[in-house]
């Protein structure tokens, strides 16, 4: 489905990102893994090339909050492949106090997390949007969340702690993720008649070693599975990257096993 497509995956070394990279390679796309975590980037690239010897991929450093870093990534990819078909943003910047309960979130932490995450998604969309408009085509997919769509079901976190820290859904996540969905809609309209489209995917909770008690409470609201595996999001990404979704623009595809219903 993605033959001859050049796809950049920002946050490509993360839980979802690594699975997105593999999914794109499985669909015969070429990938640039872009991530701030330079130390593991080249190792992951080597592992992928062992698993998929014919894959066309590379790693490039990216800080989504830096305009010059985004520009370097665009220039690198453009020079290497002569074009860029799509930019996927699945990065997850957060500061060291991320995860505090509502009463303990300082104004500084609130602003800093919104700056890095929502601000970074804005900056990437702006810089790639401008590049894609000049190029004459492009496709941007931002990863939001179910928590950009509905308020948290706080009961699933009640009384559960990880490493002595009370589990919660951080307050910053609500404006960040709802902001990303609406930013994406704004951009779809702003880039009217440019052959550049913008969409979101909003995944539900992804399994990554959470306490069983939490998983049980969370799964109560699912329709069949509840918490999803990272691979469960890949098919939707491939569809939005493919020409099969050519006229889907400004949408938010919720992939959550019906959790938000």
Ligand X SMILES: NC(=O)c1ccc[n+]([C@@H]2O[C@H](COP(=O)([O-])OP(=O)(O)OC[C@H]3O[C@@H](n4cnc5c(N)ncnc54)[C@H](O)[C@@H]3O)[C@@H](O)[C@H]2O)c1
Catalytic residue list: 173
The pair of structure tokens assigned to 79 is: 């020079």
Q: Nearer to ligand X by C-beta: 2 or 176?
A: 176
Q: Which is nearest to 236 in space by CA: 202, 261, 206?
A: 202
Q: Which of 6, 17, 86, 196 binds ligand X (CB under 6 A)?
A: 17
Look at residue 193 and give its three-state secondary structure.
Answer: coil
Q: How many residues make up the chain in this entry?
A: 261
- CB-CB contact of 122 with 186 (8 Å): no
Q: Which of 6, 14, 21, 23 binds ligand X (CB under 6 A)?
A: 14
Shortest approach of ligand X to residue 44 CB, angstroms?
9
Question: With binding defined as CB under 6 A, does residue 215 bind ligand X?
Answer: no
The residue written with tokens 């399994």 in the block is: 207
Shortest approach of ligand X to residue 137 CB, angstroms?
24
Bridge partners of 34? 10, 60
Q: Which of 29, 41, 129, 205 binds ligand X (CB under 6 A)?
A: 205
Shortest approach of ligand X to residue 206 CB, angstroms?
3
Q: Binding segment for ligand X among 24-32, 98-106, 154-162, 203-211 (CB under 6 A)?
A: 203-211
Q: Which of 2, 5, 23, 35 binds ligand X (CB under 6 A)?
A: 35
Crossing angle between the packed helical segments 67-81 and 107-135, to the nearest 10 degrees: 30
Shortest approach of ligand X to residue 218 CB, angstroms?
10
Q: Binding segment for ligand X among 185-193, 199-207, 216-224, 246-254 (CB under 6 A)?
A: 199-207
Q: Which is nearest to 29 in space by CA: 54, 62, 60?
A: 54
Q: Give the Cα separation of 64 and 88 in Å (integer).
A: 12
Q: Binding segment for ligand X among 154-162, 185-193, 200-208, 243-251 (CB under 6 A)?
A: 200-208
Q: Give the C-alpha distances (Å, rounded to integers) separating 164 from 170, 179, 214.
A: 16, 31, 15
The pair of structure tokens assigned to 251 is: 């949408």
Q: Which of 10, 70, 169, 237 binds ligand X (CB under 6 A)?
A: 10
The pair of structure tokens assigned to 45 is: 């690239």
Q: Nearer to ligand X by C-beta: 100 or 194?
A: 100
Q: Which 147-186 residues touch ligand X, going by CB under 6 A?
A: none
Q: Which 77-136 residues touch ligand X, going by CB under 6 A?
A: 90-93, 120
Q: Give the Cα separation of 92 and 203 in Å (integer).
A: 13
Contact positions vs ligand X (CB under 6 A): 10-11, 13-17, 35-37, 62-65, 90-93, 120, 143, 145, 203, 205-206
């Amino acid at each position: 489905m993605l033959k001859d497509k050049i796809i950049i995956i920002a946050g490509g070394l993360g839980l979802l990102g690594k699975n997105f990279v593999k999914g794109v390679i499985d669909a015969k796309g070429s990938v640039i893994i872009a991530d701030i975590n330079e130390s593991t980037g080249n190792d992951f690239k080597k592992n992928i090339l062992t698993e998929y010897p014919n894959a066309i991929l590379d790693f490039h450093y990216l800080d989504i909050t830096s305009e010059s870093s985004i520009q370097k990534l665009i220039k690198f990819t453009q020079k290497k492949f002569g074009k860029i078909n799509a930019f996927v943003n699945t990065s997850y910047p957060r500061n060291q106090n991320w995860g505090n309960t509502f009463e303990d979130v300082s104004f500084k932490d609130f602003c800093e997390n919104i700056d890095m995450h929502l601000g970074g998604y804005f900056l990437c969309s702006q810089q790639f949007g401008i590049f894609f408009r000049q190029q004459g085509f492009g496709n941007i997919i931002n990863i939001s969340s179910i928590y950009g769509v509905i308020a948290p079901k706080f009961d699933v976190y009640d009384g559960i702690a990880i490493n002595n820290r009370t589990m919660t859904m951080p307050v910053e996540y609500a404006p960040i993720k709802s902001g990303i969905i609406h930013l994406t809609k704004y951009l779809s309209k702003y880039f009217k008649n440019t052959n550049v489209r913008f969409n979101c995917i909003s995944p539900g909770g992804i399994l990554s070693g959470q306490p069983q008690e939490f998983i049980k409470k969370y799964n109560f609201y699912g329709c069949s599975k509840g918490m999803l595996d990272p691979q469960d999001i890949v098919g939707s990404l491939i569809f939005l990257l493919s020409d099969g979704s050519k006229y889907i623009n400004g949408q938010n595809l919720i992939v959550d096993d019906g959790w938000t219903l």
